[in-house]
Amino acid sequence: MKVENLPHFIRGHAHSSLVVEFDDGDRYPATALDFQVQNEDGEFEIYVSFEDCIGESHAYARAIDVGSPEQFPGSWWTSDKPRKPVGMQYTLRRIRLVLDNDAGYNVYEKGVT
C-alpha cells in the first residue's frame, strides 16, 4: 500500500483494531488519530493525544526532557502554567507501520512494498 492511501484506508477501517506506529516508536489505535487537511507542503497532518498512546509515549518523554514546544517541534502543550505536553503532530511519512490486530499482520510497513 502506498503511504498516500493510508488516510483513506485508516478512516475506512477506523472501527477495526488497527494500530498505527510512528517512527519515534509511539503506537496509537487508529480511532485516536485526527487527520487534518493537507498542509502547505501538501502532506496530511495527523494529531494524536499522548493519553491515547499504547504504552509509554517516547515523544512525551522527549518533550518533558526538552521542556518546551519550541525545543520539540511537532509537540503541542497546554497553555496553563506550568506548561505540559499533551500531544504530537505527525505527517504520513512518519508512519512506520499499520498493524491489523484482529488479523495479526501489518497492512502497511514503511519501506516494504
- Which pLDDT value is given to residue 103? 86
Cell of 27: 503506537
Assess whether the previous peptide bond of 7 is cis (omega < 30° from 0).
no
pTM, two decimal places: 0.89
Nearest-5° angle of CA 68, CA 91, CA 55? 65
Instruction: Return the pLDDT at 31.
Output: 92
Query: What's the confidence (pLDDT) of residue 89?
Result: 95
| Grid cell of 28 as nine digits | 496509537
pLDDT per residue of the chain (113 residues) written in tens, 0 to 9? 888 888 888 888 867 799 999 999 999 999 999 988 777 777 788 999 999 999 999 999 999 999 999 999 999 999 998 899 999 999 999 999 999 988 889 999 998 86
